[in-house]
Structure 1
Amino acid sequence: MKKVLLSLTAGLLSLATFAQTWSLDKAHSNVGFTITHMMISDVDGSFKSYDAKLTSSKVDFSDAVFEFSAEVGSINTSNDMRDGHLKSPDFFDAAKYSAVTFKSTKIKKGKGQNYTISGNLTMHGVTKPLVLAAVIKGPVENPRSKKQMMGITASGKVNRVAFGVGTSGATLSDDVTIKVSGEFTKD
């Protein structure tokens, strides 16, 4: 029994040794969203302050864990009055719910560089499952730093009303398209 426990412990330690952490390069990343206004035009926005990381022990990232967080107070739609309204209790209530977070629960590799990322999105104090379509490019070696880098672009739709962000009506679509693009460097 002792040998089995020692072998199991050694195996788990070797897996932990191969786990790789990748940090976000914010200068080459962005977090955006699009919502339809009056059911006729799209309005784009972004978050200025955010962070993400991923951990993976497999080269193809099929076991990766993605973690993401955006500060609600950093919302930017290029209109100060609208941004203030979005931060208010009418929508995000940034004073009470300061962050939007996502943590993956499952990564499924598709054809080529395509993946499906399933996880839990928490927004406005509500957590719901979210599935993102993603493209993972790389890794490649940065010619200057010699560090490994990779890129992820992920997108999906979120029903904002289901999270308690605003109410349903003719002014704004219930669904919001989100798009996250990140460049990561291996630590």
Structure 2
Amino acid sequence: MKKLVLIAAVLSTTLFAFKPAAEFIWGADTAHSKLGFEITHLMISDVEGSFKNFESKITASKDDFSDAVVELSADVNSVNTENEKRDAHLLNADFFDAAKYPKLTFKSTSFKKVANNKYKVAGNLTFHGVTKPVVLDATLRGISNNPATKATIAGFKVTGTIKRSDFNFGTKYATAMLSDEVTLNANTEFVKK
């Protein structure tokens, strides 16, 4: 009986002493962020674009973000390559098919620290009706306080490469016209909630 009481006391003390780390939410400040991409045209020049409307958040309990979960959603209809005719073409069934697939999403499955401020971010990217795992490189550019708002902020630069063929995107255009590889790049300022 004494053993049972002792075990119960130890378990009770251990359970009450253990407090899970608090999770913090960091929301993207889209006024100071850009979600972009780049593709090579006719094998000689790069065309850049971005999504004007997107949301992103990071959930983490560790100060170094090593347990972070990243979620992102972009409105495909907000694609902007600074050419209205090209943007309209990108929205039709040849490319994004925005009427059918209006959102692009990403959710991380791991956020691994590989150097002092460098991370490998693995996750699932969904667009054009296809979900594929991707691995992105992220650099934490710093954590600071915004002098105007007094909010804690963090800056990340994220890059990676995907193949449009993996997402059945623009399949009627040969790689001599448009590269299969598409570079993803994001510069994002997050605000701690």
Q: Distance in 1 between matches of 2:179 and 2:15?
A: 52
Structure with greater Cα Rg = 2
* Cα distance in 2 for residues equivalent to 1:105 and 1:166: 27
The 3-state SS of whatever aligns with 2:108 is strand
Normalised TM-score (structure 2): 0.89
Residue identity over aligned pairs, in percent, reads: 49
- Which whole-Å deviations, capped at 9, do the CAs of 1:57-87 have from their partners, x for residues lacking one? 0000000000011111011111111111110
**C-alpha spacing 1:5/1:36, structure 2 compared with 1 (3 Å):** farther
Equivalent residue pairs, number: 184
Displacement after TM superposition at 1:6 (Å) = 9.1
Alignment correspondent of 1:172: 178
Structure 1 regions of 5+ residues with no counterpart?
none
- TM-score, normalised to structure 1's length? 0.92
Partner of 1:154: 158
What residue is the counterpart of 1:89 in the other structure? 93
Instruction: Say whether 1:182 aligns with 2:184.
Output: no
Residues 88 and 112 of structure 1, relative CA distance in 2, 3 Å threshold: same
Structure 1 letter corresponding to 2:108: S
Residues 72-111 of structure 1: pairs in structure 2 closer than 5 A: 72-111=76-115
| Separation of aligned partners in 1, 2:143 and 2:44 | 40
What is the CA distance between 1:138 and its match in structure 2? Answer: 2.6
* Aligned residue type for 1:52: S
Partner Cα distance (2:128, 2:184) in 1: 16
Give the counterpart of 1:71 among 54, 70, 75: 75
- 55-64 or 146-155: bigger deviation: 146-155
Could you list the runs of 5+ residues in structure 2 that have no partner in the other structure?
A: 1-6
Distance 2:12 2:186 in 1: 42
CA RMSD of superposed structures (Å): 1.8
Q: Deviations over 1:25-81 (max 9, x none)?
A: 111000111100011111111111111000100000000000011111011111111
1:137 and 2:147 equivalent?
Answer: no
